[in-house]
Amino acid sequence: MSTQQPEQSPGKRMRKKELQQKILAFLDKDHKKAFNYKQIAFGIGATHPANRLDVINMLDELSAADEINEVSLGRYKAKANRGTENVGIFIRRSTGRNAVEIDDEHILVAERNSMHALNGDKVRVEVSASRKGQEPEAKVIEILEPKDQVFIGTLEVDKNYAALVTDSKYLASDIIIPRSKLKGGKNGDKAIARITVWRDDEKNPRGEVVDILGRKGENTAEMHAILAEFGLPYKYPENVENAANKIEAGITPEEVARREDFRNVTTFTIDPRDAKDFDDALSLRQLANGNWEVGVHIADVTHYVKPGSIIDKEAQSRATSVYLVDRTIPMLPEHLSNGICSLRPNEEKLTFSAIFEVDRNANVVNYRIGRTVIRSDRRFTYEEAQQIIETGEGEYAREINVLNDLAKQLRRKRYDAGALEFDRAEVRFDIDKDGKPVGVYFKESKDANKLIEEFMLLANLTVAESIGKVTDGKKAKTFVYRVHDNPDVEKISNFAMIASRFGYKVNVDGKAKEVNKSLNRMLKDVKGKGEENMLSILAIRSMAKAVYTTDNIGHYGLALDYYTHFTSPIRRYPDMMVHRLLAKYAEGSRSADKVKVDDQCKHSSDMEQLAANAERASIRYKQVEFMRDRLGQEYEGVISGVTEWGFYVELDENMCEGLVPVRDLADDYYDLDEKNYCLIGRKHHNRYTLGDRVKVQVARADLERKQLDFALIEDTGNPNRPKSLHPVNGNGGRNIPRHRSHGGNLRRKK
């Protein structure tokens, strides 16, 4: 955001000419940056309530008059006064709409002028002057820094020809592969290839196969292809596995003597039924004063994985374990993640622990953090622990119920302090031995899950406070924080508007605590209703993303001033970083190198996002695979997304999401109203709005694109929407005609 300060005192409404001059002057001051209307309004001091609309209208007028550039939706910058030559990043799209990004602005590049640059290449371009009513265009004149990249696809091989037909959204052309460069690949194999040369006079690039993933359509090949698509590793280097296999547990009397001994304290783990890497355990004992001592014991991974070792470098690069629908790709070799470091029952394990003394009201009286040794007495699944909570019977029932009671009190205090309460069911698939989805079920968070979550949160915030919270004007030492910024005002306001269509009020004008309490009230009220899933997703989307950083700004969603990740070092590298910093500072060492730690924080945040994208892609693949056997079947659902190419529908029965393409809405020509999240027919004024209930038929299931297409059968509407906004057909009813093929008469939005 610009550091320019407001130029006008609040309360005064600007005249149109003054407003225009101030907007142009503001954008000219920082002409390389793009701003949204709120940043511009703040920067020019347009704080009068009426100025909000004035600024929006003026920006539209200036953009239409070609006085400023709208570089992306709702973001504006000064008209470029650039020379003919510039340097930028090339953006290639399989649709052919290539561009170069220069100072946040995207300038079109025709394929004939691209020099066959690839997506992400740093290029020098020659920019043509823009003419009124036309977008400027650029011509690539030099590729300065090619981006190293590979492409995933299916091999087509016959006696005269071989090529990789790519799945990439960044490349429309097949890659020609010389037979000597096939690496044993055969027709129909899923493969990874890189481009070796792409001559100016050739339509297709030439390349070589990097790896063969397996046969197209085979589950493992397709899952590995998803990982490779996001640049994530799909197999473990043999030399790293070998190094890990040489590590021994090493729980010697000398090592135990250096640690606090919890081997005779009641301790257990509670994890998903298919988990193999148990990186956290809880212990419980009652103290002489009647208080409870709760131990949160975390696998001491950094005792075994030394900085700079081959194992550490691999873990640092991966930064996280990746969880696809049917498999886990671990950050650490299996010998460590599922063996030595996993807190398996009846085995002595080295741990790093946060030990709390809490009273009966779950107030933390005291705590200590240090290295320990434990022996877990029992491994519980969440289902087993939940049954004990519900019945009061079973092994360690007293301990589990005491912990559950304390956890509920801790949770209530968090919510009273303003923490957000997202509790959305997750879709999961029952997979057969071949990886095929045969059923769908929903994973819900119950008391047993929340019990573990609450004590992990307590450990994480306490560890963060132990380093970050300093007194007497002292400077905190460099540390890894998990931060969550305040939500964007515009996003949360848009969400409140959508929620209001369903009859829910979300307060967006108060303090963070009041806003969050309002959100929690809405999330509670929507529970069990048809719109629950959609509104929960949109509420999450309105929030900022949590990231790792050395600059602590607190955690908005948890309503905490200090927070970190300490409790999962088997699967997250930042937790390993935290363990090392704790040990370093406990020895009295100086503050760590902030720049170095922050670089790794950024890498970890980036890898976390890639892993999440891969997980979502695997879910989409399984959804399409599951629904492929249900072509022609009809389902009810809710509109969960609206775009210019159609609207997405999430089915009630299985939470699978598919697209109703605008090209199939042949009764009218539809325009996107982004502000109101709807498609509107020009002639009949039919509306398809986010949250509307619809009935659809499964029309297409494209595994290559991981996309479902639905045909609209009926719009059952939004009961809270005014009657005048309901779609109508020519007969005055709310139902629209059944889907049918319209061939060449189809009209659609370009």
Q: Which pLDDT value is given to residue 9?
A: 43
CA distance 187 to 164: 10
Helix (H, G, I), strand (E, B) or coil at 377: coil
Q: Which pLDDT value is given to residue 728?
A: 36
Q: Which pLDDT value is given to residue 169?
A: 82
Supply φ then ψ for residue 102, to 5 degrees: -130, 120
Q: Which pLDDT value is given to residue 736?
A: 32
Question: H or E element: which one contains 323?
Answer: strand 322-323
SS (H, E, C) 540-600: HHCCCCCEEECCCCCECCCCECCCCCCCCCCCEHHHHHHHHHHHHHHCCCCCCCHHHHHHH
83: pLDDT strictly greater than 60 = no
Banded pLDDT at 723 (limits 50, 70, 90): very low
Burial of residue 89 (CB within 10 Å: 0-12, 13-18, 19+) is middle
- Tokens 């088997």 map to which residue? 570
Average pLDDT over residues 615-640: 93
CA distance 289 to 262: 19
Least confident range of 355-364, 368-377, 504-513, 546-555: 504-513
Which residues make beta-bridge pairs with 75? 72
DSSP codes joined into one string, 412-441: HHHHHTT-------EEEEEE-TTS-EEEEE
- H helix runs in 215-371, sequence order: 219-229, 238-245, 253-257, 301-304, 310-318, 334
Least confident range of 298-307, 469-478, 706-715, 724-733: 724-733
What burial letters (b/e) apply to 277-296, b meaning 16+ CB within 10 Å?
bbbbbbbbeeeeeebbbbbb
87: pLDDT strictly greater than 50 = yes
Q: Which pLDDT value is given to residue 731?
A: 31
Average pLDDT over residues 210-217: 95
Average pLDDT over residues 346-351: 98
Q: How many of the other CB atoms lie within 10 Å of CB of 544?
A: 14
735: pLDDT strictly greater than 50 = no
604: pLDDT strictly greater than 60 = yes
Q: Which pLDDT value is given to residue 734?
A: 31
Q: Which pLDDT value is given to residue 133?
A: 54
Q: Which amino acid is at 9?
A: S
DSSP codes joined into one string, 108-172: EE-GGGSTTPPTT-EEEEEEPPP-TTS--BEEEEEEEEPPP--EEEEEEE-SS-EEEEE--TT--
Sheet with strand 348-358: strands edge to edge: 260-261, 364-375, 348-358, 292-299, 280-286, 267-271, 378-381
Q: Which pLDDT value is given to residue 5?
A: 46
Helix (H, G, I), strand (E, B) or coil at 693: strand
Of these ranges, 453-462, 526-535, 536-545, the one predicted with the greatest mean pLDDT is 453-462
Q: Which pLDDT value is given to residue 8?
A: 43
Burial of residue 162 (CB within 10 Å: 0-12, 13-18, 19+) is buried
Question: H or E element: which one contains 443?
Answer: strand 437-443
Among 132, 323, 303, 332, which Cα is nearest to 236's?
332
Burial of residue 80 (CB within 10 Å: 0-12, 13-18, 19+) is buried
Q: What is the pLDDT of residues 166-204, one digit of tens each?
A: 988 888 889 999 999 999 999 999 999 999 999 988 899
Q: What is the pLDDT of residues 667-681, one digit of tens each?
A: 888 988 877 778 999
Q: What is the pLDDT of residues 284-323, one digit of tens each?
A: 999 999 999 999 999 999 999 999 999 999 999 999 999 9
Banded pLDDT at 720 (limits 50, 70, 90): very low
Burial of residue 635 (CB within 10 Å: 0-12, 13-18, 19+) is buried
Least confident range of 42-56, 558-572, 618-632, 732-746: 732-746
CA distance 674 to 158: 48
Longest dimension (CA), the chain: 86
CA distance 566 to 563: 9
Q: Which pLDDT value is given to residue 360?
A: 95
719: pLDDT strictly greater than 50 = no
Structure tokens at 164: 């990789």
Q: Are strands 267-271 and 378-381 parallel, antiparallel or unpaired?
A: parallel
Least confident range of 432-446, 542-556, 614-628, 722-736: 722-736
Supply φ then ψ for residue 383, to 5 degrees: -65, -40
Among 497, 501, 410, which Cα is nearest to 456's?
410
Banded pLDDT at 95 (limits 50, 70, 90): confident
Does residue 573 contact residue 320 with C-beta atoms inside 8 Å?
Answer: yes
Q: What is the pLDDT of residues 15-69, one digit of tens each?
A: 788 888 888 888 888 766 788 877 888 888 876 666 767 888 888 888 877 788 7
More reliable by pLDDT, 305 or 497: 305
Banded pLDDT at 276 (limits 50, 70, 90): confident
738: pLDDT strictly greater than 50 = no
More reliable by pLDDT, 699 or 497: 699
CA distance 579 to 459: 12
- Tokens 């899952």 map to which residue? 223
Supply φ then ψ for residue 115, to 5 degrees: 55, 20
| HSE toward the beta carbon, residue 78, CA cutoff 13 A | 16
| HSE toward the beta carbon, residue 714, CA cutoff 13 A | 8
Least confident range of 41-55, 232-246, 509-523: 41-55
Task: Using the Cα atoms of residue 362, residue 365, residue 368 and residue 374 in order, give the sign of their dihedral.
Answer: negative
As separate numbers, helices (DSSP H) first and strands (DSSP E) second, the chain gives 17, 33
115: left (phi over 0), alpha (psi -120 to 50) or beta: left
Among 325, 505, 537, 264, which Cα is nearest to 423's?
537
Q: How many of the other CB atoms lie within 10 Å of CB of 578?
A: 28
DSSP state of 36: -
Q: Which pLDDT value is given to residue 540?
A: 84
Q: Which pLDDT value is given to residue 569?
A: 98
What are the CA-CA distances from residue 462 to residues 466, 567, 596 (Å)? 6, 12, 24
Q: How many of the other CB atoms lie within 10 Å of CB of 387?
A: 16
Banded pLDDT at 726 (limits 50, 70, 90): very low
Burial of residue 331 (CB within 10 Å: 0-12, 13-18, 19+) is buried
DSSP state of 30: T
Q: Which pLDDT value is given to residue 747?
A: 29
- Per-chain mean pLDDT for the chain: 87
Q: Which pLDDT value is given to residue 742?
A: 29
Average pLDDT over residues 470-495: 88
Q: Which pLDDT value is given to residue 303?
A: 98
**C-beta contacts of 15-19 below 8 A and 24+ residues apart:** 16/54, 16/58, 19/44, 19/46, 19/51, 19/54, 19/55, 19/58
The pTM score is 0.82
